[in-house]
Amino acid sequence: MEGELALPGKKKKRPPATGGNGTVTFEDGCARKELRLDAGRERVKRFRAEVEILNTLKENGPRIDRVVPILDYQLSDKPYWYTMPALDGHLECVVHEYRGDVRKTVRALLPVIYALEKLSERDPAIFHRDIKPGNILHAGNGDQRELWVSDFGCAFLADPEAHRHTLDFRAVGAVDYRAPEYAHGRVETVTASGDVFSIGKLLWHMVNGVPCEVFPYTLWHPPEYDLSRRFPDNPLVDRLNLIIWRCVEYEPSKRPSYSGLIEQLESLLTTREDPEEVSLRDKLARQESRIQLGAVEARAHARVVRNIALADLKNAQAQLQPELQGLDPWKALLGKPTETTDHGLRQATDGPGTDTIFATSIRGLKVYAILYGPRAKKAPEGGQFPFVEMAVLRRDGRNLRIEIWEGNDGNLLQQKSFGTDERQTKPYEGNAALTLFRAVLQAAANGEILT
């Protein structure tokens, strides 16, 4: 029966495997996971919780296929342990077998996703939170190889009466596969979308097929991590790119549900073989993949430049604040940076809009800092998008302006233009806003900018 794990007879003896929580030993087709005697309080709680979850799956409700079951356990005396069927190893050992093969990858991983979906539908729901190659075990060979979910040491039981085991601001899960919202262990953000994020990275890892290689954090958009570039003759890779992109969205609410993800993956396995239809669909998928990758990369770059400009503005305000004590009208110059949203960032990078990150007025002057996208304004000479313009609009038409952008060599540059008599481009040193504000104050002190 599919999904059953039979206990075989005696196998060739395997050496123990040592991990962070303890040791796993193998004998007579069983694996015994034993907690270290010197394990701290948090690890003991996690081990007990893992046994509780696995035992609940065994005793309550229908059995869930592709979850490695618990066979026996002992929590009354140290060392604490539990046993489970011994499989052949973990996914990292065989990941090379999936390299470049989208259908093989999807066929192998879909049963695991079905299992995770069923776990999330239980009452209370169970979320794994540590999906990675080392926790996906395999059994069998070739086309008969099966993948199984194991190690529930980081699992989250969505029970309001359950005790939490992770300290505040303690990250949960392997860093290479961990969803961003788990970086500080905040339980209020635990949903199925966290495991969906990890599945997206696992899909990339399997099709990439190189042991221990995965794209860093959410930054999968650089060309070196684009699967369609690594496998240019495989049109299914472009469709998988789109699925991965949706899974690893930074915002959990934008990732697909399990049902949506499963539907997208199953569609890869049922592609019609009509050459004309496949050709058109594949071309559109490839173009859509490139458009989405480009948008993600543009937003990532824009977010960096925007955050640098915000830090620059706040630093200038902090330095000038003491000098403007008692000059309340001029303190308006310092204003307050706008709390920009992801919507503003997308408007600047994906469409013809801008993202205003600072705006104020004083004595008839308009002071602002704006992030420009590629369609909103011509980029500075020698630069590229995105770029930030900080400016003061003067009544006499002699505007003070500083621009910050990423140069073609990847370094940040700034250009200063005070009216028409001064224009200079130099490496950005983090004080563009302070330079601009001081120029405004100096001009005001000299009576040069008021009419």
Overall pTM > 0.75:
no
Query: In residues, how long is the chain?
Result: 451
pLDDT reported for residue 8: 43
Q: By C-alpha distance, which of 268, 217, 227 is closest to 103?
A: 268
Residues 111, 67: Cα–Cα separation, whole Å:
10
Mean pLDDT of 258-287: 77
Residues 98, 388: Cα–Cα separation, whole Å:
44
Are residues 25 and 159 located together in one domain of the fold? yes
Are residues 32 and 138 located together in one domain of the fold? yes
Mean pLDDT of 140-153: 91
Tell me if 4 is assigned to some domain: no
Confidence of residue 204 (pLDDT cuts 50, 70, 90): very high
Confidence of residue 187 (pLDDT cuts 50, 70, 90): low
DSSP string of 73-89, one letter each residue: EE-SSSSPEEEEE--SE
Indicate whether 168 pLDDT > 50.
no
pLDDT digits (tens, 9 = 90+) for 400-444: 888 888 877 667 888 888 765 566 788 888 888 888 888 888 877
Are residues 202 and 320 located together in one domain of the fold? no
Which residue bears the tokens 């196998």? 11
Residues 200, 183: Cα–Cα separation, whole Å:
17
342: containing domain: 305-445
Tell me if 155 is assigned to some domain: yes
Are residues 216 and 319 located together in one domain of the fold? no
Whether 398 and 315 have beta carbons less than 8 Å apart is answered as no
pLDDT digits (tens, 9 = 90+) for 219-271: 666 778 888 889 988 878 888 888 898 898 888 888 999 999 999 999 888 86
- The DSSP bridge partners found for residue 405 are 387, 413
Residues 242, 393: Cα–Cα separation, whole Å:
44
Q: What is the DSSP letter of 185?
A: T
Whether 395 and 401 have beta carbons less than 8 Å apart is answered as no
H or E element at residue 146:
strand 146-149
Helix pair 275-320, 342-350: axis angle to 10 deg: 120
List all residues 6 or more positions away from 5 whose beta carbon is below 8 Å from its beta carbon: 68, 69, 85, 87, 139, 148
Residues 257, 196: Cα–Cα separation, whole Å:
8
What's the chain's average pLDDT? 82
Q: By C-alpha distance, which of 208, 286, 180 is closest to 242?
A: 286
Whether 91 and 133 have beta carbons less than 8 Å apart is answered as yes
Are residues 213 and 314 located together in one domain of the fold? no
Q: Is the dihedral of CA 160, 165, 170, 171 positive or negative?
A: negative
Q: What is the DSSP letter of 220?
A: -
List all residues 6 or more positions away from 116 whose beta carbon is below 8 Å from its beta carbon: 128, 131, 149, 192, 195, 199, 258
The angle formed by the CA atoms of residues 124, 129 and 135, to the nearest 5 degrees, is 115
Residues 264, 254: Cα–Cα separation, whole Å:
15
H or E element at residue 412:
strand 412-418
Name the domain boundary from 271, 292, 315.
271
Whether 382 and 408 have beta carbons less than 8 Å apart is answered as yes
pLDDT reported for residue 167: 40
In this structure, the strands spanning 383-393 and 400-407 are antiparallel
pLDDT reported for residue 180: 84
Residues 207, 125: Cα–Cα separation, whole Å:
30
Tell me if 282 is assigned to some domain: no
List all residues 6 or more positions away from 429 whose beta carbon is below 8 Å from its beta carbon: 414
Query: What percentage of the chain exceeds 70 in pLDDT?
Result: 83
CATH number at residue 162: 1.10.510.10
Are residues 262 and 322 located together in one domain of the fold? no
Are residues 327 and 226 located together in one domain of the fold? no
Are residues 250 and 389 located together in one domain of the fold? no
Tell me if 277 is assigned to some domain: no
Q: According to the per-residue pLDDT averaged within each range, which of 194-198, 239-243, 251-255, 383-387 is highest?
A: 194-198
Tell me if 287 is assigned to some domain: no
